[in-house]
Structure 1
Amino acid sequence: MDLSLALLVALNKKAFAQEGLFVFGELGLDGRVKSSSMLFPLILSLKEQGLVKRAIVPKESICHLSHISGVDFIAVETLNDAILLFKEGKFASNVQHFEYDAKSLILENTSYYYEEKYESDFKEVKGQNVAKRAALIAAAGMHNFFMEGNPGCGKSMIAKRIKDILPPMQEEELLSVAKHQFLDGETPTFKAIRPMRAPHHTATSASVFGGGSGQAKIGEVALANNGILFFDEIPHFSKQVLEAMREPLSDRKVHIARVNAKIEYEADIMFVAAQNPCPCGNLLSKVKSCRCSEMEIKRYANKLSDPFLDRIDIFVVMQEVQSEDKSDVTSKVMHQAVIEAFKMQKSRGQERLNGKLKEEEIETYCLLSSEADKILASAIGKFGLSHRSIASVKKIGRTIADLNKNEKIEKKDILEALSYRRRK
């Protein structure tokens, strides 16, 4: 039975003047107030809409609900506890707000949290200096990132290590990640680590975007919200999945339509993809010969459409592994560079990171020096850059300038940004 209904019965429908007080919880047969997996997402959504300020909640849910700031929680363990609250008229909060166990920094009166824990370290990736530099830029601005290279050259290694060097998170992002984890039936850890999801290329559209028969289930794209969605062997994903990815990459949302309901999930993701250069994987090899026909290579490349690829900012062709390759940088050093670039972005008053800037924000924040402006104008004519490609180059240039601690995008920054464009 619902706790609010039980209170109405127990209090003989007596009226109480407590404006804005919500009652949540389910009543067990033993009189205990129980929680549910939907309680956290429900209260967080109401708080984001400004609808709830105070709430009576089950005591067993406080370990999760105490993370939500701006709501005064009154925890009750049994129905008798709730009845006593109303009879005595004492509705003061008895829950202390949660303090995150993570490193933090305060910028413009907002707290941001991050961890310095590196499950896998970039020092384990030998060689691939260009790809590691591109990964650093992608992480610093949350840019979409595409790697192409022979099997075993380190594409997956780099992708899996980006997760630990991503920018700090503010409380709203941490709570949004937790909300999606609850909707997936998981118990959140509330750690300041951005999520990473890597669906297999055989995954169905329903598992990637959400859906299914009956009650719609949250999918991999929404579960990667505020983090990374990684597609390994991307040409092997179905055409339906790849073309449907255009919507979340543009709108940062996932829409699921059902006969009786329409559901919208946040999907502000950093998209990372990797592929071999051809079906056999040896097209770029100097040692192994490619076994693919020209038709097979063309068919393989055509699996990814131009409108889809146009939504990716950074493209890198990986180098072949050499025996003398050495490791030149650690995840800790890269993460510190990302944090410094993050500070520069926030010091300009940016609400979004560089890779997520909207059209009007690009004009405001991605300012070019006169030399850089001339180089970009020349590149537009020479390479036939589309409007979206020009925006991508400016955003990448802005992130490179932040890493180089430049107020404006300089000549060196824009030249490097252009080197990561897609070659058609």
Structure 2
Amino acid sequence: MSLSLVQSRAQVALEAAAVTVEVHLANGLPSFTLVGLADVEVKEARERVRSALQNCGLEFPHNKRITVNLAPADLPKDSGRFDLPIALGILAASGQVSASRLAGWEFAGELSLSGELRPVRGALAMSVALYTAGASTRLVLPPGSAEEAALVPGARVYRAKHLLDVVRQFPPEGEAEASEGWSQVVTDVKAGEETGLDLADVKGHAGAKRALEIAAAGGHSMLLMGPPGSGKSMLAQRFAGLLPAMTVDEALESAAVASLSGRFSLERWAVRPTCAPHHSASAVALVGGGSPPRPGEISLAHHGVLFLDELPEFPRAALEALREPLETGHITIARAARRAEFPARFQFVGAMNPCPCGFLGAPHKACRCTPDQVSRYQGKLSGPLLDRIDLHVEVPSLPAQQLLEAPPGESTVAIRARCAAARALAMQRQGKANHALQGKEIDQHARLAEAAGIFLQTASARLGWSARSTHRVLKVARTVADLAGSAQTEVAHVAEAVQYRRGLTAHA
């Protein structure tokens, strides 16, 4: 048979779209044509496949006109993932493997010139796509990629080290041959280990630790402000340890983004990521972009923590790009050629100095900045961005005596238990964390006591809050009530939440 069909998948953002590799051998002037909106690295597969087949002792049809079509034709294809299905399509069309036996299988893998298979990006997304569709299709992937794909529950994944390992499984006649490089992969990976950073290492700062607890319990964003060396980075680096354990779906979503960027490792399975880009990062590096679109740091921090140290030093365009994902939990990258959407439900933690020199309000050193310099420095953070940050927390410097003599604080394990209990209350009540409440859900689940409502109205009017700020304070107050085990949101809970909206303006 001179026509064969082999199934594979293309990576478009986080979606693994089905692709049929159609190979036709015909008489005529010898040529090798590849069509179907293939990028440069896909077209280079012609030379890789030709050399791999020859070096494996397989027959390459030199005297035929070879046409390879990657359908659908309007779907962009990139990377070397189509090397293996193209090679199998040529072998099936020339009768060297069974075309009928390839049905019910999907293949992806880059070929070396010797026929060895190399890993591809986005293998986990391929397996997730099959899992979502409820398909019983079997996947064949190279080492490194197969282990990723096998993390999906119920996935049928086979690992092949070499092109010949795959060829021996689909002979034109007879039974499949055993091969050392061919095996079914069943990955039973336990959650990876945390970084080991413990909040007990941070001495003092009871107020900041309380804010971390509230943020972890309700999923709230946070801004830490204080002089250099006061402990802002120490607190932020230990924040991820307070978050609840990841569910299987959350772990799969987080790992799929990391796999697409080539950053996934089995050791970090089900561990909430903490991304801390340098303040010189561009808006594209932060939110994603490029051609084809790639996820940025906010998507790599999906279901984890995005920590931006020296927040005012980031480019203004990069900071303003955070406004949409902080509100919606996803980012849409629109370009002339294509449009891509990536998840970005992260917990934001920012850190900044109160002024350019950093010592405004510090007891041990005088600030040398003028009021105009302080105003310009703090003005680098726009009002709409600050409006979307739930907790504004001051982190003062500790006296040397307290730093040296204070006993260790409460451990991460103890605080995480309280955060998990409060988060469980919210999930039981409303099916989502408090920070995700929207519209009428806030009125329905906040359960604001009458006196607390009056107090909140007074505070909102006197402090000049926007409607968004008022709602965010109400959601923080609901989290404080959950930590206290209270069914209603009382005045004390609202009063504590109000304190966390005054950190930055205190220095204006």
Q: Does 2:277 match 1:199? A: yes
Among residues 354, 371, 386, which one is paired with 1:309 in the alignment?
A: 386
- 60-69 or 324-333, which moves further after superposition? 324-333
* Residue in 2 that maps onto 1:54: 137
Amino acid at match of 2:439: E
Find the aligned partners of 1:158 and 1:53 in 2 and give their Cα distance.
Answer: 46
Q: Comparing 80-89 with 383-392, which one deviates more in the overlay?
A: 80-89
CA distance in structure 1 between the partners assigned to 2:171 and 2:216 by the alignment: 52
Distance 1:318 1:5, change over 3 A: closer
Cα distance in 1, alignment partners of residues 436 and 131 from structure 2: 21
Kindly indicate whether residue 262 of structure 2 is the aligned counterpart of residue 181 of structure 1.
no
Q: Does 1:374 align with 2:457?
A: no
2:429 alignment partner, one of 348, 362, 387? 348
Matches within 5 A, 1:9-48: 9-12=90-93, 16=100, 21-26=105-110, 34-44=118-128, 46-47=129-130
Q: Which amino acid is the alignment partner of residue 190 of structure 2?
A: D
Q: Normalising to structure 1: TM-score of the pair?
A: 0.85
Q: SS of the residue aligned with 2:254?
A: helix
Could you say what secondary structure the match of 2:393 adopts?
strand
Q: Give unpaired runs (5+ residues) of structure 2.
A: 1-48, 50-82, 177-182
Alpha-carbon distance in 1 for matches of 2:331, 2:393: 28
Aligned partner (choices 427, 435, 438) of residue 358 of structure 1:
438
The CA deviation at 1:354 is 1.7
Distance 1:247 1:58, change over 3 A: same
The equivalent position to 2:297 in structure 1, one of 207, 220, 225, is 220
Q: In structure 2, what is the Cα distance between the partners aligned to 1:367 and 1:133?
A: 22
Q: Is the 8 A contact 1:123 1:330 kept in 2?
A: yes
User: What SS is found at the alignment partner of 1:329?
Assistant: coil
Which stretch has the larger CA shift, 35-44 or 8-17?
8-17
Give the Å deviation of 1:205.
2.0
What amino acid maps onto 2:299 in structure 1?
Answer: A
* Root mean square deviation of aligned Cα: 3.0
Deviation at 1:16, TM superposition (A): 4.8
Structure 1, 158-167 or 63-72: larger mean CA deviation: 63-72
Per-residue deviation, 1:315: 0.8
Q: 1:393, CA displacement in angstroms?
A: 1.2
| Runs of at least 5 residues in structure 1 that lack an aligned partner in the other structure | 103-113
Quick one: distance in 2 between partners of 1:20 and 1:370? 63
User: Which deviates more from structure 2 when the two are superposed, residues 249-258 or residues 142-151?
Assistant: 249-258
For residues 132 and 87 of structure 1, do their structure 2 counterparts lie closer, same or farther at Cα, with a shift above 3 Å needed? farther
Partner Cα separation in structure 1 for residue 414 and residue 330 of structure 2: 33
Aligned twin of 1:106: none
| In 1: Cα distance, 2:279 partner to 2:238 partner | 20
Q: Which has the higher contact order (CA 8 A, sep 6+)?
A: 1
2 CA distance for matches of 1:84 and 1:361?
60
Aligned residues: percent identity?
Answer: 33
Counterpart-to-counterpart distance in 1, 2:184 and 2:443: 45
C-alpha contact 2:435 2:475 (8 A) present in aligned 1: yes
CA distance in 2, matches of 1:49, 1:417: 40
What does 1:16-415 correspond to in 2, within 5 Å? 16=100, 21-26=105-110, 34-44=118-128, 46-47=129-130, 50=133, 52-58=135-141, 60=143, 61-75=145-159, 78-83=165-170, 95=184, 97-102=186-191, 117=194, 119-188=196-265, 189-212=267-290, 214-322=291-399, 323-324=401-402, 326=406, 327-350=408-431, 352-415=432-495
Larger radius of gyration: 2
**What secondary structure, in the 3-state scheme, does the structure 2 residue paired with 1:324 have?**
helix
Counterpart secondary structure, 2:307: strand
1:210-265, CA deviations, whole angstroms, 9 ceiling, x for partnerless residues? Answer: 234x5444321211111111111111111111111112212222233334222221
Q: Distance in 2 between matches of 1:419 and 1:73?
A: 53
What is the CA–CA distance in structure 2 between the aligned matches of 1:224 and 1:21, rounded to whole Å? Answer: 33
Contact 1:24 1:55 (8 Å CA) reproduced: no
More displaced 10-residue stretch of structure 1: 23-32 or 387-396: 23-32
| Equivalent residues of 2:107, 2:141 under 8 A apart | no
Amino acid at match of 2:324: E
Q: Secondary structure at the match of 2:239?
A: helix
Contact 1:27–1:79 under 8 Å retained in 2: no
Q: Is the 8 A contact 1:22 1:56 kept in 2?
A: yes
